[in-house]
């Protein structure tokens, strides 16, 4: 079929994420991808400043990841994980434990980031059930967050500014604190620290866990906050017998300049959620890591098993390519790549501060954000960006980039220039 036939079928049958059916905006047809570039069916090349929703950190057609995938496909593409195990998953779990903050010893491999949040919450709820504290069944978070689109994660996304206000009254009723004030490099707000302590103490009897995205709030607003809030959360939750979940689906594997954002604060949560870049963007896979205390508590309960079992849990293809991706990270190149990208984003986005419609410019690690004072016109923004040879996916009032770590100077210059141009016209 030619491009016109394919796009007609796409419009008729394919429901794209966060879009109506039928779609009101035509999708771009990608023919192939290599390095940091997407080649469209009409021959145009676009620099991918999104890393395919923050996952393809090593770029496309990476020879190491390609080889790992092909080798594993020649051995075993899938096998159920109930009662069976295999080397790629075992190696992956051991590597994640070695990389993760100290104290996280057990790994539950699952299908996607949203599911890892479901599993993390289930771990915490089942822990309290198992130790005889059934009243501890609510979650607390701060506004401005995003944790996924399945039901439990939706319940801890921002209830006003997010995408899930439609489900108010249907989702579990959780507890929300104000957005964490300040930027990454700012001193913590003392009034906010006191508020954290007061509210967690007040609700400790009903709280199973506090869940937050450490340092960077992703799809809820691309906001950065001081690491000191994470240290405070760790101290307050421990003092009040409340568990702590860090959602690092977006920030894990080097994106903020550390392997995990929790390292900026030097603390370990009770449960850690990972996903996205875990497989370098090749296949869907996520993980929920927990401490021995969580696992031991569940094992002593009336139901002594974690009641969760995805069909494709620990898929060998995903596990093998994840091991290869983590192997590339272990070589350490990202430790210089991410600061290099950070410097290029800061320099390239600085001119946007002079634009009247730009409310804020912020950069941390391999994340660059232009916040406008009005919602982005998606059609206009996409037209401007693609005309400048760049693929980005703005949302709400944000034009942002999270480029692959292999992006070169000319790629980053193209991305930042396109963002500034889009901010002028969108």
Nearest in space to 154 (alpha carbons), one of 143, 164, 142, 169: 164
Name the pLDDT band for 169 (thresholds 50, 70, 90).
confident
> Do 318 and 337 reside in the same domain of the chain?
no
Name the pLDDT band for 162 (thresholds 50, 70, 90).
low
Beta-carbon contacts of residue 232 (< 8 Å; ≥ 6 apart)? 188, 193, 196, 197
Number of structural domains in the chain: 2
Name the pLDDT band for 63 (thresholds 50, 70, 90).
very high
Give me the phi and psi of 219, to 5 degrees please.
-65, -10
> Do 55 and 86 reside in the same domain of the chain?
no
Examine the fold and report which residue of 330, 357, 388 is the final residue of a domain before the chain moves on: 330
The pair of structure tokens assigned to 401 is 């980039």
> Do 122 and 12 reside in the same domain of the chain?
no
The pair of structure tokens assigned to 308 is 């969760």
Is the model's pLDDT at 426 over the cut of 80?
no
Residue labelled with tokens 């190149």: 333
Is the model's pLDDT at 257 over the cut of 90?
yes
Residue 47 three-state SS = strand
> Regarding beta strands 207-212 and 138-142, do their DSSP bridges make them parallel or antiparallel, or are they unpaired?
parallel
Higher pLDDT: 153 or 169? It is 153
Between the CA of residue 78 and those of 60, 82, 88, 176, 324, what are the distances in Å? 23, 12, 11, 41, 17
Beta-carbon contacts of residue 172 (< 8 Å; ≥ 6 apart)? 138, 139, 151, 152, 155
Query: pLDDT digits over 366-378, tens only?
Result: 999 999 999 999 9
* CATH number for the domain harbouring residue 404: 3.90.1150.10
pLDDT, the chain, mean: 96
The pair of structure tokens assigned to 100 is 């993760």
> Do 99 and 31 reside in the same domain of the chain?
no
Nearest in space to 141 (alpha carbons), one of 184, 110, 177, 114: 177
> Do 205 and 319 reside in the same domain of the chain?
yes
Give me the phi and psi of 141, to 5 degrees please.
-150, -175
Q: Is residue 69 part of a domain?
A: no
Average pLDDT score over residue span 398-402:
98
Nearest in space to 414 (alpha carbons), one of 46, 54, 50, 53: 46
Name the pLDDT band for 70 (thresholds 50, 70, 90).
very high
274 strand-pairing partners: 287
The pair of structure tokens assigned to 397 is 């009032």
> Do 317 and 342 reside in the same domain of the chain?
no
Longest dimension (CA), the chain: 63
Is the model's pLDDT at 62 over the cut of 80?
yes
Task: Give the chain's end-to-end CA distance (angstroms, integer).
Answer: 34
Active-site positions read: 18, 146, 247, 276
> Regarding beta strands 207-212 and 175-177, do their DSSP bridges make them parallel or antiparallel, or are they unpaired?
unpaired
> Do 249 and 360 reside in the same domain of the chain?
no
The secondary structure of 72-95 as a DSSP string is: HHTT-S----SS---HHHHHHHHH
Q: Is residue 67 part of a domain?
A: no
Bond into 279 cis (ω within 30): no
Query: pLDDT digits over 99-152, tens only?
Result: 999 999 999 999 999 999 999 999 999 999 999 999 999 999 999 999 999 999
Q: Is residue 66 part of a domain?
A: no
User: CA 100, CA 82: separation in Å to the nearest integer?
Assistant: 25
Examine the fold and report which residue of 277, 311, 330 is the final residue of a domain before the chain moves on: 330
Between the CA of residue 109 and those of 35, 340, 373, what are the distances in Å? 28, 32, 40
The pair of structure tokens assigned to 143 is 């506004």
Is the model's pLDDT at 86 over the cut of 90?
yes
> Do 176 and 165 reside in the same domain of the chain?
yes
> Do 16 and 111 reside in the same domain of the chain?
no
> Do 53 and 168 reside in the same domain of the chain?
no
Average pLDDT score over residue span 72-77:
98
> Do 276 and 341 reside in the same domain of the chain?
no
Is the model's pLDDT at 166 over the cut of 90?
no
Examine the fold and report which residue of 283, 303, 330 is the final residue of a domain before the chain moves on: 330
> Do 293 and 407 reside in the same domain of the chain?
no
Nearest in space to 254 (alpha carbons), one of 176, 175, 360, 366: 366
Q: What's the confidence (pLDDT) of residue 25? A: 80
The angle subtended at Cα 36 by Cα 32 and Cα 40, nearest 5°, is: 35
Q: Is residue 68 part of a domain?
A: no
Higher pLDDT: 220 or 161? It is 220
Name the pLDDT band for 160 (thresholds 50, 70, 90).
confident
Q: What's the confidence (pLDDT) of residue 125? A: 97
Name the pLDDT band for 353 (thresholds 50, 70, 90).
very high
Q: Which domain holds residue 383?
A: 3-61+333-425
């Amino acid at each position: 079929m030619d491009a016109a036939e394919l796009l007609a079928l796409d419009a008729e049958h394919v429901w794209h994420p966060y879009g109506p059916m039928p779609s009101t905006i035509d999708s771009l047809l990608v023919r192939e991808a290599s390095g940091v570039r997407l080649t469209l069916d009409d021959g145009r090349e676009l620099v991918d400043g999104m890393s395919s929703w923050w996952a393809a950190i090593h770029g496309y057609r990476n020879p190491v990841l390609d080889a790992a995938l092909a080798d594993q496909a020649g051995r075993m593409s899938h096998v159920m994980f109930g009662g069976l195990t295999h080397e790629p998953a075992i190696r992956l779990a051991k590597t994640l434990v070695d990389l993760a903050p100290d104290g996280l010893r057990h790994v539950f491999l699952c299908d996607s980031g949203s599911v890892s949040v479901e599993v993390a919450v289930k771990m915490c709820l089942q822990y309290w059930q198992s130790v005889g504290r059934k009243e501890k069944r609510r979650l607390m978070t701060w506004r401005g967050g995003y944790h996924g689109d399945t039901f439990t994660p939706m319940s801890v996304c921002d209830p006003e500014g997010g995408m899930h206000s439609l489900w108010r009254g249907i989702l579990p009723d959780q507890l929300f604190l104000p957005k964490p004030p300040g930027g990454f490099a700012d001193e913590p707000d003392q009034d906010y620290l006191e508020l954290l302590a007061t509210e967690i103490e007040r609700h400790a009897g009903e709280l199973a866990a506090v869940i937050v995205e450490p340092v960077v709030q992703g799809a809820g607003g691309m906001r950065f906050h001081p690491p000191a809030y994470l240290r405070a959360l760790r101290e307050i939750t421990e003092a009040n017998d409340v568990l702590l979940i860090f959602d690092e689906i977006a920030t894990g594997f080097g994106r903020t300049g550390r392997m995990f954002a929790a390292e900026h604060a030097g603390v370990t949560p009770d449960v850690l959620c990972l996903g996205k870049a875990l497989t370098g963007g090749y296949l869907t896979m996520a993980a929920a890591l927990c401490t021995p205390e969580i696992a031991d508590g569940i094992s002593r309960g009336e139901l002594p098993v974690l009641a969760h079992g995805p069909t494709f849990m620990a898929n060998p293809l995903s596990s093998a390519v994840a091991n290869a991706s983590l192997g590339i990270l272990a070589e350490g190149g990202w430790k210089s790549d991410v600061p290099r990208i950070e410097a290029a984003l800061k320099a390239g986005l600085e001119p946007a501060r002079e634009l009247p419609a730009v409310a804020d410019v912020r950069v941390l690690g391999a994340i660059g954000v232009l916040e406008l004072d009005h919602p982005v016109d998606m059609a206009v923004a996409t037209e401007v960006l693609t005309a400048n040879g760049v693929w980005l996916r703005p949302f709400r009032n944000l034009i942002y980039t999270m480029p692959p770590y292999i992006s070169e100077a000319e790629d980053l210059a193209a991305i930042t220039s396109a963002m500034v141009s889009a901010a002028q016209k969108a």
